[in-house]
């Protein structure tokens, strides 16, 4: 079989597109011909060296494609099947896994981080990580299935009720998906961001109102017609984001945190206790991939407007530069496309 191309990270900022022998599917594994892969902040932090991985490493954890080959024991998956990859799998044996908290497993393996991922023509993954995708769904909708699963879990942990008000902190990929999931649950949504750059898009995607991160208590009061919003989904992951979320939520309300701030965060716990705010963390997903795919199929969530840039594998360096461009939301790598 002919050599295949992959973007191989040899060290911080040392990403090279190379030819290698094609991966072979072992028992319980499949090889996926990657049609599209999304680049996210995690990939950027690995590329820059801020997050260490074992080198050489092929990044890419948000991807879809077609089964190229299936090893023994790969279940019903057949060559040609269209699949999206759930890029985290757990040990299955520890107490956390046994009680169903597999997203919290300390021995969890992340495809594209701990093992090679989707910034390649072919990727080898456990068969159990592949979800079949209906042919009718656009590549660029399925491309966002992974971050959408993150958001589906976050919103679900906030116990949304139809007719409530909600605020989303952050207007990046997760924020703009959270907005749509909350809308699908029947909530009125305020989108809050440091910049007004994405406010037009947020409104097109269903936001009732948008606001900069200033004077948030007053903004939330006006928007909700009471002491603040019922539910806040925090997606920004900045040091101030929890403070912003607490300014927006009403006494007795709920805040779900999905952002992972990498610096110390000042949290005014007085405001949590005095107002009985429920503060909940939400980490990736447990069983949310099928729900995410259903939302895409029904058209309740349309992530296609979030895909702003597309690059072939040979231009992956430009893709990483584009990720930092304030005008970009989701950058897609299309390994089968000529640069």
Could you say which residues in the range 122-161 bind Zn ion, by CB under 5 A?
none
CA–CA separation, 248 vs 170, rounded Å? 13
Q: Which stretch binds Zn ion (CB under 5 A): 2-10, 98-106, 150-158, 174-182?
A: 98-106
Taking the complex as a whole, how short is the minimal distance between the CB of residue 105 and Zn ion, in angstroms?
A: 3
Structural tokens at position 211: 């606001």
Pick 172 or 253: Cβ nearer Zn ion:
172
Q: Which is nearer to Zn ion, 90 or 224 (CB)?
A: 90
Q: Which two tokens stand for residue 223?
A: 């928007």
Q: Site for Zn ion (CB under 5 A): which residue of 31, 36, 39, 40? A: 40
Q: Provide Rg for the chain, Cα atoms.
A: 20
The verdict on 91 binding Zn ion (CB under 5 A) reads: yes
Nearest to Zn ion of 105, 216 (CB atom): 105
Shortest distance, position 107 Cβ to Zn ion, whole Å: 5
Token pair recorded at residue 154: 């976050």
Q: Which residue, 84 or 97, is less far from Zn ion as judged by CB?
A: 97
The half-sphere exposure of 47 on its side-chain side, counting CA atoms within 13 A, is 21
90 sits near Zn ion (criterion: CB under 5 A): yes
Positive or negative: CA dihedral 30, 68, 45, 281: negative
CA 121, CA 252: separation in Å to the nearest integer? 50
Neighbouring-strand partners of residue 14: 11
Between 20 and 91, CB nearer to Zn ion: 91
Contacts of 176 (CB under 8 A, 6+ apart): 191, 198, 201, 202, 205, 303, 306, 329
Residue 36 φ/ψ, nearest 5 degrees = -155, 145
94 binds Zn ion (CB under 5 A): yes
Q: Is 6 helix (H, G, I), strand (E, B) or coil?
A: strand
Interface residues for Zn ion in 172-201 (CB under 5 A)? none
DSSP type of residue 34: E
| # residues contacting Zn ion (CB under 5 A) | 7
Q: What are phi and psi of 168, to 5 degrees?
A: -115, 125
Binds Zn ion by CB under 5 A, chosen from 105, 111, 133, 316: 105
x/- mask, Zn ion, residues 42-71, rule CB under 5 A, reads x-----------------------------
Among 30, 34, 97, 142, binds Zn ion (CB under 5 A): 97
Residues near Zn ion (CB under 5 A): 40, 42, 90-91, 94, 97, 105
């Amino acid at each position: 079989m002919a050599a295949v191309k992959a973007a191989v990270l040899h060290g911080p900022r040392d990403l090279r597109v190379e030819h290698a022998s094609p991966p072979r599917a072992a028992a319980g594994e499949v090889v996926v011909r990657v049609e599209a892969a999304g680049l996210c902040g995690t990939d950027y932090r690995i590329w820059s060296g801020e997050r260490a991985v074992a080198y050489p490493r092929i990044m890419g954890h948000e991807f879809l494609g077609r089964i190229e080959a299936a090893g023994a024991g790969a279940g019903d998956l057949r060559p040609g099947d269209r699949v999206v990859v759930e890029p985290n799998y757990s040990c299955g044996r520890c107490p956390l896994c046994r009680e169903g908290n597999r997203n919290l497993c300390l021995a969890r393996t992340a495809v594209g981080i701990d093992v090679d991922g989707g910034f390649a023509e072919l990727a080898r993954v456990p068969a159990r990580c592949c979800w079949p995708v209906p042919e009718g769904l656009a590549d660029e909708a399925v491309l966002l299935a992974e971050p959408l699963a993150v958001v589906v879990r976050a919103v679900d942990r906030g116990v949304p009720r139809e007719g409530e008000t909600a605020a989303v902190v952050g207007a990046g990929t997760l924020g703009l998906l959270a907005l749509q999931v909350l809308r699908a649950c029947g909530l009125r949504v305020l989108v809050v961001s440091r910049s007004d750059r994405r406010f037009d898009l947020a409104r097109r995607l269903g936001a009732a109102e948008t606001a900069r991160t200033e004077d948030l208590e007053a903004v939330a009061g006006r928007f909700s017609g009471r002491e603040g919003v019922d539910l806040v989904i925090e997606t920004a992951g900045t040091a101030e984001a929890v403070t912003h979320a607490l300014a927006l939520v009403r006494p007795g309300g709920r805040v779900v945190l999905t952002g992972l701030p990498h610096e110390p965060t000042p949290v005014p716990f007085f405001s949590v206790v005095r107002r009985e705010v429920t503060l909940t963390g939400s980490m990736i997903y447990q069983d949310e991939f099928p729900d995410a795919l259903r939302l895409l199929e029904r058209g309740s969530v349309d992530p296609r407007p979030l895909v702003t840039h597309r690059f072939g594998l040979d231009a992956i360096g430009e893709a990483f530069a584009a990720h930092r461009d304030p005008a970009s939301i989701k950058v897609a790598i299309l390994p089968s496309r000529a640069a």
